[in-house]
Structure 1
Amino acid sequence: MIARDLAEPYPHVTTDDQAVDAVRLLAEHDLAALLVLERDGTPYAVVPGSQLVRQLVPEYVMEDPLLAAVIDDRHADSLTEALAGKTVAQWIPARAFKPAFVGPEAGALQIAALMARTHVPLVAVIDRDDDGRRLVGVVSAASLMRHLLDVGGQG
């Protein structure tokens, strides 16, 4: 099966969207990773949710995990203050996760290899035409596993 057939709709944000809106999208849709596109539809980053959570944890807590035990939910508002007024591009980790993407004709094994190499649970399927780039959808690790189980007769 090819990428066009495996691709499913997936919520995404652009680099210009507000960081707080990206967090809401991730939370409301229970997403494993955040898909970020540039304004023209070019994939910008795919950031696992765990790395976005990391962006909310203050550096001093990362350096001394014992502090996390004494800071409770009453201080949660201070964790999200870092989002205020920032765009997605300004907020996501400095070592942004390069987007994994393929064309619509890529095969399942090609997608699996890319996913394994990049350590990101999403591969965007991008179609290019005279008008530019268009997100066809996303192949998630879960949907790829379902497909591979079905093809292998284990589904």
Structure 2
Amino acid sequence: MRARDLVAPFPAVSLDTPVLEAARLLADQDLPGLIVVDEHGRPSSILPGTQVLRLAVPGYCMDDPALARVVDEAHADRFLDALADRKVRAALPPEPRELPITGPQATALELAALMARTHSPLVAIVEDGRLLGAVTLQALLDRLVAS
């Protein structure tokens, strides 16, 4: 089984996409993350959904989880409002990391190793500089378990 057998069309966002729009895309399509593309449409990063949440959760709640319990429910349900003016570039790590990108010839084991090594729930599949789509952790596991 190769990446070309598992790849599916996948939405991409730019560095200047509003984070709230990215969050809606994640929620509306039940995605584990998003592919961030540069101005030429080439993948420049993978944005896991957890990074979107990290941007919205107040720092004091991440530093001390007990403080999250003292926020009343009405305000706790609205914490995503903090994303209103932020762009995707703010959710990306400051240091470049290995990108979970490979070609359509990658094997299932190569995909799994890349996901595990990069802590990414998806791998962008690129051929000749063009984004073909992505292989998600769910799609990979579904095929591996069914085999």
Settle same-fold status: TM greater than 0.5.
Answer: yes
Q: Which amino acid aligns with 2:70?
A: V
SS of corresponding position for 2:120: coil
Correspondence for 1:147: 143
Q: CA deviation at 1:93?
A: 4.2
Q: CA deviation at 1:53?
A: 1.2
> Contact 2:51–2:91 at 8 Å: present in 1 too?
no
Correspondence for 2:7: 7
Please tell me whether Structure 1 or Structure 2 has the larger radius of gyration of its CA atoms: 1
Q: CA deviation at 1:147?
A: 2.0
Correspondence for 2:102: 102
Q: Which amino acid aligns with 1:144?
A: L
Correspondence for 2:25: 25
SS of corresponding position for 1:104: coil
Structure 1 residue ranges, 4+ long, deviating more than 4 angstroms after superposition: 95-98
SS of corresponding position for 1:111: helix
Identify if the C-alpha distance between structure 1 residues 97 and 23 changes in structure 2 by more than 3 Å, giving closer, same or farther. farther
Q: CA deviation at 1:122?
A: 0.4
Correspondence for 2:84: 84
Deviations 1:37-58 (A, max 9, x none): 2121221222322232122111
Correspondence for 1:59: 59
Q: CA deviation at 1:97?
A: 5.6
Aligned length: 147
SS of corresponding position for 2:134: strand
- Structure 2, unmatched stretches of 5+, are none
In 2, the alpha carbon distance for the partners of 1:81 and 1:94 equals 23
> Contact 1:19–1:87 at 8 Å: present in 2 too?
yes
SS of corresponding position for 2:23: helix
In 1, the alpha carbon distance for the partners of 2:113 and 2:62 equals 32
- Structure 1, unmatched stretches of 5+, are none
SS of corresponding position for 1:26: helix
Correspondence for 1:111: 111
Q: CA deviation at 1:150?
A: 3.5
In 2, the alpha carbon distance for the partners of 1:75 and 1:96 equals 34
- RMSD across aligned C-alpha pairs, in angstroms? 2.2
